Amino acid sequence: MAYKQDTICVQGGYRPKSGESRIPPISQSTTYFYDSTQGMADLFDLKADGYFYSRLANPTVAAFEGKVTALEGGVAGVGCSSGMAATTLAAFTVCGAGDNIVSSSAIYGGTFNLFAVTLPKLGIETRFFDPDAPAEEIEKLIDGNTRLIFTETVANPSIKILDFEKIAAIAKKYGVLFAVDNTLATPVLCRPFEWGANLIIHSSTKYLDGHAAALGGMIVDGGNFNFKGNPRYASFNEPDESYHGLVYADLPTAQFATKCRAQMMRDIGAMMSPQNAFLSWLGCDTLALRMERHSSNAKKVAAYLSKHPKIDWVWHASLPENKYHALAEKYLPHGQGGMLSFGIKGDVAQAAKFMEALKLITQETHVADVRSCVLHPASTTHRQLTKEELAAAGVPENLVRLSVGIENPEDIIADLEQALANI
Ligand SMILES: *Cc1c(COP(=O)(O)O)cnc(C)c1O
């Protein structure tokens, strides 16, 4: 039976057997005991499911993988040490030197750096597109070496909403894997596999954990991409000599997740810790409730700010005048999350003065947890970017990013009010 998202939040990913602990124990162990050599050999050959070394798999991490996979409606998840680790491992699973990624330019600053600076050093090129550009323009970037199309559901920090159907049609036409970073929407507000995505990336550090307690990342395999015989994905169609000649495209399911774990997690080792998996699993219990409150609070704050004389502009898709309002009604009808951006009239100094005057809302390099916080991306997360790159990423210099928490909305607005009175 297919349960609804709020039910999966509290019931998904772990079902104890009689007499076992009701919530997943923290399996704080690097290794696992077996009483037969054959049992262990079957695990190494992927003939049996089980654990042998926590770099590859761990029961607590598996519980969290199970919950996120169920929420997204995918076939398998790979828990990673951070969101950046998840994106890196996902890229390495399909890309080698000479290959390219076609990516939205409206993405998280760390991902932009990975794609624009670090991966090129390894011979992996990224071609960026404006997600609002017409399909014909985006298509021009795809060639025979394109292995991945990369996007964000709700872009951080430009709060652009992705037009899934436009990108899915391009990905299908060219037989390219379509990946979406669904961190800021969460599967409670949007399920990208239902809109044609093949791969979902999460920084579970944000809403999934939700309490600013644990770094983590997740790759979810949609199981809906045909690698078999696709000339773009030779590495899925040839025997993996490093894994007993396994041909990933011949696996009945979870081809991407299996290759990612068997090759990339094995070799790079950016796995999630059991402690962090436990905290993130627990955080997801309240994800549906929290996303409802984050969304309704942000909607109220956006409406308030949009009428304030000292505010230049506000970006949140709940606002009827927002450019992405129609896309949000289609893809995120139950709420658009707690992230919003706005510009303060005046210069960067005014923005700093405003932020320092806040009393309840704190300045943090973080977003998407229960406590409201602000950040000035141009001087922090996006400070490596040039003026031109900032513009391409949709981050004006006066942009203040506000992550609206789940406090009482009147208290959040009162704090903004007194800080704005200060400038
Ligand atoms: C924070 C974030 C990341 C990176 O995640 P970490 O867990 O900090 O490595 C990736 N994508 C988005 C949209 C994010 O907000």
DSSP states along 101-163: EEEESSS-HHHHHIIIIIHHHTT-EEEEE-TTS-HHHHHTT--TTEEEEEEESB-TTT-PBP-
16 and 284 Cβ atoms separated by less than 8 Å: no
Tokens, residue 107: 């993405």
Q: Is 82 in the pocket of ligand 1 (CB under 6 A)?
A: yes
Q: Is 203 in the pocket of ligand 1 (CB under 6 A)?
A: yes
pLDDT at 74 over 90: yes
Question: Looking at residue 305, what is its pLDDT?
Answer: 98
Q: Which residue has the higher pLDDT, 314 or 366?
A: 314
**Domain shared by 344 and 362, yes or no:** yes
Query: In angstroms, what is the span from residue 158 Cα to ligand 1's centroid?
Result: 14
**Domain shared by 250 and 297, yes or no:** no
Q: Report the DSSP beta bridge partners of residue 80.
A: 217, 271
Does residue 45 sit in helix, strand or coil?
coil
Question: Looking at residue 398, what is its pLDDT?
Answer: 84
Choose one of 80, 161, 204, 206 to mutate for the ligand 1 pocket test, by most ligand atoms within 8 angstroms of C-beta.
206
What is the domain count for the chain?
2
Global pTM reads 0.96
342 and 399 Cβ atoms separated by less than 8 Å: yes
Question: Looking at residue 1, what is its pLDDT?
Answer: 66
pLDDT at 380 over 80: no
Which CATH number belongs to the domain containing residue 374 in this structure? 3.90.1150.10
Give the number of other CB atoms < 10 A from CB of residue 83: 24
316 and 154 Cβ atoms separated by less than 8 Å: no
**Domain shared by 263 and 370, yes or no:** no
Question: Looking at residue 393, what is its pLDDT?
Answer: 66
Q: How far is CA 312 from CA 5, 183, 343, 396, in A?
A: 37, 27, 5, 12
Does residue 317 sit in helix, strand or coil?
coil
Which of the residue ranges 78-82, 320-324, 353-357 would you say has the lowest mean pLDDT?
Answer: 353-357
Q: Is 108 in the pocket of ligand 1 (CB under 6 A)?
A: yes
Choose one of 203, 271, 373, 382 to mutate for the ligand 1 pocket test, by most ligand atoms within 8 angstroms of C-beta.
203
Residue 35: band (very low, low, confident or very high) from pLDDT cuts 50, 70, 90: confident
Among 251, 283, 315, where does a domain finish?
A: 283
Q: Is 322 in the pocket of ligand 1 (CB under 6 A)?
A: no
334 and 189 Cβ atoms separated by less than 8 Å: yes
Tell me the DSSP string of 165-202.
Answer: HHHHHHHHHHT-EEEEE-TTTHHHH--GGGGT-SEEEE
pLDDT at 37 over 80: yes
Query: In angstroms, what is the span from residue 216 Cα to ligand 1's centroid?
Result: 9
For the residues 121-145, what does the mean pLDDT come to?
98
Query: In angstroms, what is the span from residue 364 Cα to ligand 1's centroid?
Result: 14
**Domain shared by 292 and 258, yes or no:** no
Among 268, 283, 298, where does a domain finish?
A: 283
Q: Is 153 in the pocket of ligand 1 (CB under 6 A)?
A: no
**Domain shared by 271 and 292, yes or no:** no
Name the amino acid, one letter, at 167.
Answer: I
Question: Looking at residue 243, what is its pLDDT?
Answer: 86
**Domain shared by 194 and 51, yes or no:** yes
Q: Is 235 in the pocket of ligand 1 (CB under 6 A)?
A: no
Q: How many Å apart are CA 295 and CA 221, to the nearest integer? A: 27
**Domain shared by 344 and 248, yes or no:** no
Locate the ligand 1 atom nearest the alpha carbon of residue 216 and give its number: 7
Among 230, 259, 283, where does a domain finish?
A: 283
Residue 378: band (very low, low, confident or very high) from pLDDT cuts 50, 70, 90: confident
Query: pLDDT (tens digit, 9 = 90+) per residue, 360-375?
Result: 999 988 899 999 999 9
Query: In angstroms, what is the span from residue 83 Cα to ligand 1's centroid?
Result: 5
Which CATH number belongs to the domain containing residue 239 in this structure? 3.40.640.10
The residue with tokens 């004389």 is 309
Q: How many Å apart are CA 244 and CA 99, to the nearest integer? A: 25
**Domain shared by 319 and 307, yes or no:** yes
Question: Looking at residue 47, what is its pLDDT?
Answer: 79
164 and 44 Cβ atoms separated by less than 8 Å: no
Q: How far is CA 286 from CA 65, 127, 183, 202, in A?
A: 16, 38, 16, 17
* DSSP 8-state secondary structure symbol assigned to residue 315: E
Ligand 1: residue whose CA is nearest its atom 12:
108
Mean pLDDT for the chain? 95
Question: Looking at residue 9, what is its pLDDT?
Answer: 98
Q: Is 218 in the pocket of ligand 1 (CB under 6 A)?
A: no
**Domain shared by 190 and 309, yes or no:** no
The residue with tokens 């991945």 is 148
Q: Which residue has the higher pLDDT, 349 or 381?
A: 349
Question: Looking at residue 352, what is its pLDDT?
Answer: 84
**Domain shared by 275 and 298, yes or no:** no
Locate the ligand 1 atom nearest the alpha carbon of residue 217 and give its number: 7
For the residues 288-297, what does the mean pLDDT come to?
98
Choose one of 205, 220, 403 to mutate for the ligand 1 pocket test, by most ligand atoms within 8 angstroms of C-beta.
205
Q: Which residue has the higher pLDDT, 47 or 126?
A: 126
Q: At what angle do helices 409-421 and 348-357 cross, to 10 degrees?
A: 130
Q: Is 146 in the pocket of ligand 1 (CB under 6 A)?
A: no
Q: Burial level of 133, CB count in 10 A (0-12/13-18/19+)?
A: middle
Query: pLDDT (tens digit, 9 = 90+) per residue, 154-197?
Result: 998 889 999 999 999 999 999 999 999 999 999 999 999 999 99
pLDDT at 379 over 80: no
Question: Looking at residue 42, what is its pLDDT?
Answer: 84
Q: On the CB side of 401, how many CA atoms lie within 13 Å of its CA?
A: 26
Query: pLDDT (tens digit, 9 = 90+) per residue, 5-20?
Result: 999 999 999 999 999 9
142: left (phi over 0), alpha (psi -120 to 50) or beta: beta
**Domain shared by 92 and 137, yes or no:** yes
Q: Is 405 in the pocket of ligand 1 (CB under 6 A)?
A: no
Residue 349: band (very low, low, confident or very high) from pLDDT cuts 50, 70, 90: confident
Query: In angstroms, what is the span from residue 230 Cα to ligand 1's centroid?
Result: 30
Question: Looking at residue 374, what is its pLDDT?
Answer: 95
Residue 382: band (very low, low, confident or very high) from pLDDT cuts 50, 70, 90: confident
**Domain shared by 248 and 109, yes or no:** yes
Tell me which residue range forms the domain holding 248.
5-283
Query: In angstroms, what is the span from residue 396 Cα to ligand 1's centroid?
Result: 20
